[in-house]
Amino acid sequence: SNSIPLYTEHLSYCSDLYHGKTGYLYDLLPIPFTDEAVKYVAARIRQTQDILEQKIAIENASFYAAAPISTLSEIDFLNAVLQEADCWLHLDINNIYVNSVNFSDNHQDALKNASHFLRQIPKERIVYSHIAGHYQESPNLLIDTHGKDVVAPVWDLLADAYQLFGVFPTLLERDSHIPPLPTLMQEVNKIAAYQADYIYKATSKMVATC
């Protein structure tokens, strides 16, 4: 056992075999969404949890090209891994939006698909969350850079997530183009305000029903 309360890792791969040697790819690449991959990944997660003697969390990752052999949707694959591995979920709100835009025909469909994805997540698995900005390469291609301000649709998804699942720890990611601290804290304070708003509404509802 150890004193670290939570380990998390992206649900992705970053290495491959080439002529019998392992090569490391410096990016997070999407695992094919198949039943076989569910069993393989879940077994690796269970092995890790056995070694650490605690559950870990997996994070839904952003991706830009779907594996052609996939037979499951992203959310079905994610939920199957969570169930098979009996692990926690590290929910990345921005990645839900990025993937929805990258794999939808238009922005309205992207918003619907992001909302649909969020509503299929098992509440009891969520232990932690990320929110971040991204780079818009084109109207139908977003890159998860953590280098810009959080956009309005992602804030809306975070608010929806709190209403659906309750408040959970939420981290603002900012890896590049970091603004002055007072500017950065505006987004941190916005997260806190969203959480306080949910708690106030939930408490008011409880009082009203007493």
The domain segmentation of the chain, as residue ranges, is 8-209
Evaluate if residue 210 carries a pLDDT over 80.
no
Evaluate if residue 134 carries a pLDDT over 70.
yes
What is the per-residue pLDDT for 29? 84
The CATH class, in words, for 8-209 is alpha beta
Question: Could you tell me what percent of the chain has a pLDDT over 90?
Answer: 82
Evaluate if residue 2 carries a pLDDT over 70.
no
Mean pLDDT of the chain: 93
* pLDDT (average), residues 83-108: 98
CA 144, CA 74: separation in Å to the nearest integer?
Answer: 17
Evaluate if residue 121 carries a pLDDT over 90.
yes
What is the per-residue pLDDT for 183? 95
Question: Could you tell me what percent of the chain has a pLDDT over 70?
Answer: 97
Question: In Å, how far from its chain's centre is CA 52?
Answer: 22
